[in-house]
């Protein structure tokens, strides 16, 4: 919960805007400011104080306990110009909260945490349990000292400026180890513990068995991702409470699913009891992985619990990111976040140049020239299969004549794939022209490099006969100068010469140009590969120099009746 505190009418107005925008996340604290801050500090994970930073410093100073215990605190000034991350930038989430508050109120976020200031991923912000010399290793990264990465298990980390050798170390492991001097240990959630239990098995027996099994195998409980069992044990109190105490979800599977898993130690007892020859091993192995601890029983007599431990390999992550038509303000916040998250960036060199300043230090950039789309797709998938966090970029929307389809054709279910939509060239051009896409429309590429012209022509003819607004991508190049006239001729068989046509070149870029002409007047020689051509349907009109397609044909009939 986020506590909101204000002292003035202006502060209360901004406070109420936050409360209205985040009704489920916020609580307003009224009354004397000192009392409100003290109460909110004790009750909330974060605070937003519409007060001077000095006043908040004096109020919270006596309340501070420690970096990992204190809530995050953000201060917003009386004029609403700045959102200052004052306390708990990483551990308390104040840095991100300052950015959120800034976005909502139109304030400038002020973040002074060193790693954030130079755009390095904070070691305590990766969403993984972290131990060791976080401050020392972070300082070494900031100072440009050699920091080695020792990844004993694969995990899709964000970019970090690391090397193979160094006097400081970031160790990624699920082993039960203590951090050495000048070392940080990151513990990814790679372990799945399968659990079986007789009815009424006490939580102490279940939990003790799990902890003993992990400790005996030299594995850290901090890397346990989940406890898994059969559906019939979904509400078994000892198992449910053990998962709660460890702090992981309890995942259950049907007896039929578990019975289909090949295990080394099947048994007749669980088969008779719940319908599968294995619970612990099968539940741990159902998602694949390496069996590190075969089924073992608790030490009680009689034993009422069993467990097994599996290491599932870290899944690589492939984000297919649409960069939009070119303008920086048409690059979505989600796309920016994925670019910052990726440790490997794959893309066409000219697109990489557009966003090179947005990628974090340590990002490995794999760029290539025109005509290497399939190679880039394969490279991105291969890097993700190595356990990397990869961003594969394309212009506009990556799923529209771009990189999503070749990448997904290469990808299998062994990696996670995230699609990040972008503003397409057709949409950018449509906004410049007016409202040409107000009714049904279609986009057709006139490039016959990947699609036979016979297929393209059939599609153009179908769109012409269906009276669809048509946006032509890749309309004309030096080596392809006859396709656009041919396509326009097909449309002209079904539309008048006065049909509005919009021509937009380099939509949203500094050298953008656009014009509104007609089907009869358009000179194809004025069009190139950087141009989008939008041809209206029989209802499209030129209204005050803007291209408008009505949402329905009734509008056209009413207009014609008044003429």
3-class SS letters over 488-502: HHHHHCCCCCCCEEE
**Can you tell me whether residue 419 is helix, strand or coil?**
strand
In a structure prediction context, what are the per-residue pLDDT tens digits for the chain, which is 563 residues long?
999 998 888 888 888 989 999 999 999 999 898 999 999 999 999 999 999 889 889 998 999 888 778 899 999 988 889 999 999 888 788 888 999 999 889 999 998 876 666 667 788 878 889 999 988 998 898 888 899 999 999 899 888 888 888 899 999 999 999 999 999 999 999 999 999 999 999 999 999 999 999 999 999 999 999 999 999 999 999 999 999 999 999 999 999 999 999 999 888 888 888 888 999 999 999 988 999 999 999 988 899 999 999 999 888 999 999 999 999 999 999 999 999 999 999 999 999 999 999 998 889 999 998 888 899 999 999 999 998 999 999 999 999 988 999 999 999 888 999 999 999 999 999 999 999 999 999 999 999 888 999 999 999 999 999 999 999 999 998 888 999 999 999 999 999 999 999 999 999 999 999 999 999 999 999 999 999 999 999 999 999 999 999 987 565 555 554 44
Question: Closest Cα partner for 102 from 127, 74, 129?
Answer: 74
Cα–Cα distance between 291 and 309 in angstroms, integer? Answer: 6
Cβ-contact 468, 441 below 8 angstroms: yes
Cα–Cα distance between 279 and 284 in angstroms, integer? Answer: 8
Cβ-contact 406, 377 below 8 angstroms: yes
Kindly list the strands in the beta sheet with 183-186, ordered across the sheet, starting from the edge strand earlier in the chain. Answer: 130-132, 183-186, 168-172, 147-151
């Amino acid at each position: 919960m986020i506590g909101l505190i204000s002292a003035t009418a202006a502060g209360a107005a901004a406070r109420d805007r936050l409360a209205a925008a985040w009704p489920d996340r916020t609580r307003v604290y009224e009354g004397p400011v000192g009392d409100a801050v003290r109460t909110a500090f004790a009750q909330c994970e974060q605070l937003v104080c519409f007060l001077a930073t000095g006043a908040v410093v004096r109020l919270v100073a006596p309340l501070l306990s420690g970096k990992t215990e204190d809530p995050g605190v953000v201060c917003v000034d009386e004029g609403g110009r700045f959102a200052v991350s004052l306390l708990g930038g990483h551990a308390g989430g104040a840095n991100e909260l300052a950015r959120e508050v800034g976005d909502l109120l139109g304030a400038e976020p002020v973040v002074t945490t060193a790693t954030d200031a130079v755009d390095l991923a904070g070691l305590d912000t990766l969403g993984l349990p972290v131990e060791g010399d976080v401050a020392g290793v972070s300082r070494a990264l900031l100072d440009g000292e050699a920091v080695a990465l020792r990844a004993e298990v694969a995990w899709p980390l964000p970019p970090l400026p690391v090397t193979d050798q160094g006097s400081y170390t970031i160790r990624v492991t699920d082993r039960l180890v203590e951090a050495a001097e000048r070392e940080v240990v990151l513990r990814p959630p790679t372990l799945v513990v399968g659990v079986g239990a007789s009815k009424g098995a006490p939580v102490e027996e279940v939990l003790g068995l799990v902890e003993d099994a992990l400790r005996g195998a030299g594995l850290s409980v901090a890397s346990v991702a989940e406890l898994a069992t059969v559906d019939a044990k979904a509400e078994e109190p000892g198992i449910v409470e053990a998962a709660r105490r460890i702090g992981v979800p309890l995942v259950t599977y049907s007896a039929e699913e578990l019975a289909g898993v090949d295990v080394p130690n099947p048994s007749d007892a669980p088969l008779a009891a719940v319908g599968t020859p294995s619970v612990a091993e099968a539940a741990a192995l159902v998602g694949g992985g390496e069996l590190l601890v075969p089924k073992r029983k608790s030490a009680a007599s009689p034993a009422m619990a069993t467990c097994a431990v599996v290491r599932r390999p870290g899944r690589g992550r492939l984000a297919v990111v649409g960069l939009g038509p070119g303008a920086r303000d048409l690059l979505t916040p989600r796309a920016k976040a994925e670019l910052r998250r990726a440790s490997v960036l794959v893309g066409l060199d000219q697109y990489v140049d557009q966003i090179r300043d947005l990628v974090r230090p340590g990002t490995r950039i794999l760029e290539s020239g025109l005509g290497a789309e399939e190679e880039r797709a394969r490279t991105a998938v291969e890097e993700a299969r190595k356990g990397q966090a990869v961003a594969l970029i394309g212009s506009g929307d990556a799923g529209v004549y771009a990189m999503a389809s070749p990448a997904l054709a290469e990808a299998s279910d062994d990696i996670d794939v995230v699609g990040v939509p972008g503003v397409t060239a057709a949409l950018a051009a449509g906004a410049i022209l007016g409202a040409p896409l107000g009714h049904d429309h279609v986009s057709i590429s006139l490039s016959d490099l990947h699609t036979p012209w016979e297929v393209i022509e059939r599609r153009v003819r179908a769109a012409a006969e269906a009276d669809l607004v048509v946006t032509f991508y890749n309309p004309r190049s030096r080596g392809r100068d006859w396709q656009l006239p041919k396509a326009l001729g097909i449309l002209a068989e079904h539309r008048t010469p006065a049909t509005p046509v919009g021509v937009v070149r380099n939509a949203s870029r500094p050298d953008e140009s656009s014009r509104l002409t007609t089907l009869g007047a358009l000179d194809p020689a004025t069009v190139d590969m950087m141009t989008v051509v939008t041809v209206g349907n029989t209802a499209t009109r030129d209204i005050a120099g803007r291209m408008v397609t009505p949402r329905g044909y009734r509008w056209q009939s009413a207009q014609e009746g008044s003429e």
